[in-house]
Amino acid sequence: MKKILFILTLVLFSGFVAKAQDDDKIRDKMKEFIQKRLKLSNNEADRFTPVFIRYFRDWRQTVREHKDDILFRQQKIAELRIRYRDEFRDVVGEKRSTEVYKKQEEFIRILNDQMKNRRDDRINRKNIP
C-alpha cells in the first residue's frame, strides 16, 4: 500500500513540476518577445525582468483562478494591469508601459495560432490514407 501511495505521489508531483517548467518556458519566451518588440536597452531589460516575472506569475494565477467566469477574469486582469502599469512605467516609460500589454496579447495570439496549426497538422496526418 505504501508503495502505491509513493508511486502516485511521484506521478502527481512530476506532473506539477512539468507544468511549472512549461509555465517558465512560456514566461521566458513571452518576456524575450516583449523585450525585443519594445526594443529595450540592456539596462531596461535587466530592470524589466523581475517586474515582468512577478506580473506574469500574478497574471497566470488570475487566469487559472477565474477560468470559468470570463467577465470576472477580464476585470481581474484589468485590475492587475493597472496595478503593474506604474512599475512598468518606471522601467520603460509612459508609452511603452502600455505597449507591454499589447505585446503580451500579440504573443498569446501567435502562440495560440501555432498550437492550432500543430493540432491541424496532426489531424491532417492521421487522415492521410
Q: How many domains does the chain have?
A: 1
Domain that includes residue 16, residue range: 2-127
Decide: 27 and 96 in contact? Cβ < 8 Å: no
pLDDT (tens digit per residue) in 14-70: 454 445 567 889 899 999 999 999 999 999 999 999 999 999 999 999 999 998 999
Q: Is the pTM of this model over 0.85?
A: no
Identify the pLDDT of residue 2: 54
Instruction: Average the pLDDT over 104-123 and give the result.
Output: 84
Burial 27-57 (b: 16+ CB within 10 A, else e): beebbebbbebbebeeebbebbbebbeebbe
The residue behind cell 512530476 is 14
